[in-house]
Amino acid sequence: MTERPREIIKAVHPHASLATRPLSLTDQVYEQLKEDILEVRCGPGDALIEAELAQRYGVSKTPVREALRLLVQDEWVAVIPRKGYLVRPVHLDDIREIFEIRHMIEPDLAARAAAQASEAALERLVALCSDQADAGVGVGPSLQAARHFHLELAVLAGNRRVMTVLGRQLDEVRRLHHLMPRVEPHITSRIELSAHRDIVEAVHRRDADGARALMADHLSEVATAMVEAFVDVRR
């Protein structure tokens, strides 16, 4: 798989520069528990008990408590007064808000990429599409490849804060894919891959308006699939 720029690696974790220093125990528990949440091994509404988590991850309660505090800060976990912690539930409005934010950000990122991307940057985008195609039917690898594709556009814009915001929305989408089996095949579909390739072609043509429109259409199509799958699950 194509090597990712350091900016993409840093965008994964908002509390530490993981690319430049060893992980503390708190960092390790944060990453492990967040991964369990994103992969829905800890599902929305599940209780999180400090003692059980300490045993699961082989640490004391102190790094667990600190990791939970960070996950509350990042809104992956909610505090229930006098009861403890639980994985934050997912609502239909969450999906709408996620894609509203993405619509505000990503079409302009695609347009900026078309206006200023270097040849090396264009080659990275092409390689990322190839990574996604090579992932085949595996949901996890396909989600990772798609995440890198969208973050690469933020890298091209050179805005660290945009990468942080976008990275969070992409994490939310990853959880939704694992939460709703009906929508899992979408990430490996020809529609998804073709949308990314069309965006890259527009960027390569230096067609800023075209890249912007294609990204907006792509996000609308994904949002519709997500909402329909969520409603279906709740029936």
Per DSSP, the residues of 31-53 read HHHHHHHHTTSS-TT-EE-HHHH
Q: Is 58 exposed, middle or buried (0-12, 13-18, 19+ CB in 10 A)?
A: exposed
The sign of the dihedral angle between the CA atoms of 185, 232, 227, 230 is negative
For residue range 76-88, what is the model confidence (pLDDT) as tens digits?
999 998 889 999 9
* Higher pLDDT, residue 181 or 214: 214
Q: Express each pLDDT in 50-96 by its tens digit.
A: 999 999 999 999 999 999 999 999 999 999 988 899 999 999 999 99
Write down the pLDDT at residue 136: 61
Mean pLDDT computed over every residue of the chain: 87
Is residue 4 predicted with pLDDT exceeding 70? no
- Is 91-234 assigned to CATH 1.20.120.530? yes
Residue 17 or residue 15, greater confidence: 15
Q: Percent of the chain, pLDDT > 90? A: 60
- What ranges in 119-207 are assigned the alpha helix state H? 119-134, 139-157, 160-179, 190-204
Q: Give the model's pLDDT for residue 20.
A: 55
pLDDT at 159: 78
Rounded distance, CA 155 to CA 86, Å? 34
Tokens at residue 117, please? 């991307």
Domain spans, the chain: 16-87, 91-234
How many C-beta neighbours within 10 Å does residue 209 have? 11
How would residue 130 be classed by pLDDT, with cut points 50, 70 and 90?
A: confident
Strand partners for 47? 86
Class of domain 16-87: mainly alpha
Is pTM beyond 0.95? Reply is no
